[in-house]
Amino acid sequence: MRVTMVQRAPVLGDKEANLKAMEKDILAAGRKGADLVMFGELYLTGYRIKDRVARLAEALDGPSVKRIAKAARRAGCHVLFGMPERDTRIRGAIYNSAVLVRPKGGPEVYRKWFLPNFGPFEEKIHYTPGKGVKVFDTDAGRIGVFICYDIFFPELAKAYALMGAELLAVLSAAPSSSRFFFEHLAQARAIENAIPLAYCNRVGVEEGLKFFGGSVLVGARGGIIAKAKVYEEEVVSADVDLGEADFARFHRPTVRDTRVELFRLIERELGP
């Protein structure tokens, strides 16, 4: 799979400017043979939109997703990007979502499970937590999706591994204060599940919050395949061998050796 990670700074609150930039990057990546093009968390609107989320959020069948889907068809690649998604069934529910659009077929969505509400983060004020977990089947491979803070929870990565994911894809808006954590967790999630991981972070500054970039593609054995610079806009493309997981899991059979009893213990201790 050829993965392209677009590490840029979106314009806060300006969907039109961001859509134009995304369309340009998607078409450029498609010309270079990308199978999957990734943008950061809430890239469509910028991260610190706060109360503007009610005005900027769109449904999955809204105009922004349709424009990105059209660009994906023209480029012949899959696109994964972040946006505030309005629920069409439950009035008032808005999700911090990652949307996957395909060269053919309709979009699919992952809604962020773990919403940070500490320090500069106020996501539980504005967003509804996601519930469903699924692996996206694509022509290029099977993808399990995270959004930023989700990467701190190894049970989510383990679930994707057990569900047959071949690539873990993380969309992020991580600030410089969290750089140490994300740089280590990207490799840890890949190593502990013997599965490649693509981490796409953004750069720029929003209301004093500085995003560090450092997007990285990690192989199934934890080696770094490609990495973007920190604090600079950059588009990084690289090939990842999804079949490497067979070799990695032979030598470190962590998925085979997973004990489901521990998950039952967690449910018993922390469940309702």
Active-site residue, from 23, 41, 123, 183:
41
Burial code (b: 16+ CB inside 10 Å, e: under 16) for 127-139 equals bbebeeeebbebe
Region for 22 from its dihedrals, namely left if φ exceeds 0, alpha if ψ lies in -120 to 50, beta otherwise: alpha
Amino acid letter at 121?
Answer: F
First-to-last C-alpha distance (Å) of the chain:
41
For the chain, state the CA radius of gyration.
17
The angle formed by the CA atoms of residues 254, 173 and 94, to the nearest 5 degrees, is 95
| Total residue length of the chain | 272
Catalytic-role residue among 58, 77, 123, 148: 148
One of 15, 108, 112, 123 is an active-site residue; which one? 112
Please tell me what DSSP assigns to residue 130. Answer: P
Q: Is 41 a catalytic residue?
A: yes
Could you say which DSSP state residue 8 is in? -
Q: Which residues are catalytic?
A: 41, 112, 148
